[in-house]
């Protein structure tokens, strides 16, 4: 028996040493930068997450991404208002990530009929070969329940073949772009991610990192 215990202790010690010696996952973007761009990590005490972003120069035009409060912002040198691409929202004590997402959606949706009629739904990316989710990451959006969808369909006329309005408001499903809430296992905040209409946004959506919650 003592030999078995000694062997078990030895195996446990070896496994622990191997884990300690194993290199940490590489902290780098998941893809090469676009032509005219370079990757740069953005973080700040108030941002609530880390992001790899592309800072780009296309001739006289530049695109800069920067942290402002809890938002990752995008600035175009040739005009227009700066846009919030990613925002973080801290979880409340003992609040689950999914409950936090619902709270953020309800807080930012003035039409309470939409809050009542839109349900949390696993986000389904479009395209034939969407990238796999990073480990521990879940993505969601808000879509109409059956009753609300029936009301929306009843209001659409036969000539309404354009892009419809967002059925759950500006914080729900986006028919003309990529937008979703992201949760990360054990994290202290949830994110809303606005990736726009391009296949890849100016930030690396696959490597956003939210700090772990402290207990």
Q: Considering its fold, how many domains does the chain have in total?
A: 1
Structure tokens at 151: 């009301």
Tokens coding 62: 């530049």
72 occurs within a structural domain: no
The answer to the question of residue 164 being in a domain is: yes
Q: Cβ atoms within 10 A of the Cβ of 5, count? A: 9
Q: Is residue 66 part of a domain?
A: no
- Quote the CA–CA distance of 31 and 19 in Å, as a whole number: 27
Q: What is the pLDDT of residue 135?
A: 95
Which pLDDT score is estimated for 41? 98
Q: In this predicted structure, what is the pLDDT of residue 7? A: 39
Query: What pLDDT was estimated at residue 161?
Result: 66
pLDDT tens readout for residues 54-64: 999 999 999 99
Residue 159: what pLDDT? Answer: 67
Residue-level pLDDT at 6? 40
Prediction pTM value: 0.84
Residue 136 in domain: yes
Alpha helix locations (H) across 28-110?
A: 97-107
Q: Could you tell me the CA-to-CA distances from 133 to 97, 140, 173, 193 in Å, in that order?
A: 17, 12, 19, 14
Which of the residues in the chain have pLDDT under 50?
1-25
Q: What share of the chain is helix, strand, coil (3-state, %, to 5)?
A: 20, 30, 45
Classify the C-alpha dihedral 209-138-23-131 as positive or negative: negative
Task: Identify the pLDDT of residue 131.
Answer: 83
Q: Is residue 174 part of a domain?
A: yes
Does the residue 121 lie in any domain?
A: yes
Q: Which helix (H) or strand (E) holds 74?
A: strand 71-76
pLDDT of the residue at 26: 62
As a whole number of angstroms, the distance between CA 48 and CA 100 comes to: 15
């Amino acid at each position: 028996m003592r030999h078995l215990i000694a062997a078990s202790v030895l195996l446990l010690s070896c496994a622990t040493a191997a884990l300690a010696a194993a290199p940490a996952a590489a902290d780098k973007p998941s893809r090469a930068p676009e032509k005219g761009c370079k990757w740069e990590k953005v973080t700040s005490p108030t941002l609530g997450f880390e992001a790899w972003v592309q800072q780009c120069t296309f001739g006289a035009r530049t695109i800069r991404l920067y942290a402002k409060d809890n938002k990752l912002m995008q600035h175009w040198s040739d005009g227009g208002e700066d846009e919030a691409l990613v925002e973080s929202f801290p979880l409340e004590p003992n609040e689950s990530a999914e409950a936090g997402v619902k709270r953020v959606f309800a807080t930012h949706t003035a039409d309470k009929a939409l809050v009542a009629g839109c349900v949390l739904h696993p986000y389904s990316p479009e395209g034939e070969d969407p990238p796999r989710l990073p480990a521990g990451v879940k993505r969601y959006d808000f879509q109409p329940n059956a009753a609300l969808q029936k009301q929306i369909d009843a209001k659409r006329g036969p000539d309404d073949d354009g892009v419809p309005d967002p059925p759950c408001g500006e914080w729900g499903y986006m028919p003309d772009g990529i937008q979703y809430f992201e949760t990360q296992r054990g994290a202290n905040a949830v994110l809303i991610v606005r990736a726009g209409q391009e296949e890849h946004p100016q930030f690396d959506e696959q490597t956003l990192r939210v700090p772990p919650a402290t207990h």
